[in-house]
Amino acid sequence: PYDVLVVGGGPAGAAAAIYAARKGIRTAIVAERFGGQVMDTVGIENFISVPYTEGPKLAASLEQHVKQYGVEVITEQRAAAISKDGYVNVALASGATLKSRAVILATGARWRDLNVPGEIEYRTKGVAYCPHCDGPFFKGKRVAVIGGGNSGIEAAIDLAGIVEHVTVVEFADTLRADDVLQKKARSMGNIDIIMSARTTEVIGDGSRVVGMDYEDRTTGEIKRLNVAGIFVQIGLVPNTEFLKGSEIALTRTGEIEIDTKGATSLPGVYAAGDATTVPFKQIIISMGAGATAALGAFDYLIRHQAP
């Protein structure tokens, strides 16, 4: 058995593994894909002390740093269930089970896709999911935000300070965002809100997004918006489906509930990063949370005997 088994190989998992391994304890990472969401990111400008880097480059440095500490890295394996019998057991989809005294869950999240033609083709070429990350790339341009919930309206307000103009495109005939956000958005001179609009296609010129089409659901007419960027804000889904029915408490939306030391409701199991209730989902925040969870797990180990 391991002392600490980290499930997930994104920024949170990598930081957790390094902090654990530095305590001289037996540490492993099991992950479907090392690097996590970072592998899908092109420019990163908010990883403090590194003015500019690219996702695959950061992921390669994470892996190198982890391996420098002799962490066992098991990739292309998916955790399918978790249980406890003294040790924490992580059952893999392949049929094997990994045992550890403590486990750190860092399985991240994924943005809900629009599932329309052009979205995948133009991802990172104008189709974006994170306004804090990619907003500045659209300075002085026209953009659309898809989704009129809190995250969509927050994104529109955030972007309106940087870009020339924002159009919010909402499927329903009302906005779900809090009133105070709606008021703020309507008070800004450069945000338009279109409701009852079903996004049908991302339009590109072969290399970049140039617009998007939507169906006006009141008339059935297809209309076009000329925009350089499309921010998809229709939900962030935590990768925690495999924890449903376990002893680990999740919120209604599937986020793992953690305390200030990263502890979950199951003793010996810690969690960090985008899969948890942490309010902001960013690389630097996930790394800090990974370090916290590892120190929390170490604290647990020195207080509990091996079974």
- Residue 189, amino acid: G
Residues in region 101-130 near ligand FAD by CB under 6 A: 106-109, 111, 129-130
Q: Is 38 in the site for ligand FAD (CB under 6 A)?
A: yes
Tokens of 113: 């896709």
Pick the closer one to ligand FAD by CB: 10 or 148: 10
Within 10 A of 73 (CB to CB), how many other CB atoms are there? 18
CB of 229 vs ligand FAD, minimal distance in Å: 13
Among 199, 233, 286, 292, binds ligand FAD (CB under 6 A): 286
CA 240 to each of CA 33, 94, 120, 236: distance values in angstroms, whole numbers, following the listed order = 15, 18, 24, 12
CB of 15 vs ligand FAD, minimal distance in Å: 8
Query: Which residue's beta carbon is nearest to the bound ligand FAD?
Result: 108
Task: Return the bridge partners of 250, or none.
Answer: 256
Pick the closer one to ligand FAD by CB: 48 or 302: 48
Q: Where are the beta strands (DSSP E) in the chain?
A: 2-7, 27-31, 43-44, 53-54, 72-75, 79-84, 88-92, 97-105, 109-111, 127-128, 142-146, 165-169, 191-194, 197-204, 209-216, 222-225, 229-232, 236-238, 269-271
Q: Is 74 in the site for ligand FAD (CB under 6 A)?
A: no
Q: Is 78 in the site for ligand FAD (CB under 6 A)?
A: yes
Q: Is 299 in the site for ligand FAD (CB under 6 A)?
A: no
CB of 119 vs ligand FAD, minimal distance in Å: 12
CB 255 within 8 A of CB 275: yes
CA separation for the pair 102, 268 (Å, rounded)? 5
CB 38 within 8 A of CB 15: no
Among 2, 3, 6, 9, binds ligand FAD (CB under 6 A): 9
Q: What is the CA radius of gyration of the chain?
A: 21
Pick the closer one to ligand FAD by CB: 210 or 284: 284
Helix (H) or strand (E) holding 94: none
Which residues lie below 8 Å from residue 78, measured CB to CB, with a gap of 6+? 32, 92, 93, 94, 242
**x-or-dash string of contact with ligand FAD, 229-268, rule CB under 6 A:** ----------x--x--------------------------
SS3 133: helix
Pick the closer one to ligand FAD by CB: 211 or 290: 290
Q: Is 33 in the site for ligand FAD (CB under 6 A)?
A: yes
Pick the closer one to ligand FAD by CB: 182 or 239: 239
> Contacts with ligand FAD: how many residues (CB under 6 A)?
39
Pick the closer one to ligand FAD by CB: 126 or 211: 126
Pick the closer one to ligand FAD by CB: 145 or 275: 275
Q: Is 32 in the site for ligand FAD (CB under 6 A)?
A: yes
Q: Is 138 in the site for ligand FAD (CB under 6 A)?
A: no
Question: φ and ψ at 232, to 5 degrees?
Answer: -90, 120
Contacts with ligand FAD by CB under 6 A lie at: 7-13, 30-34, 36-38, 40-41, 44, 46, 78-79, 106-109, 111, 129-130, 133, 239, 242, 273-275, 281-284, 286
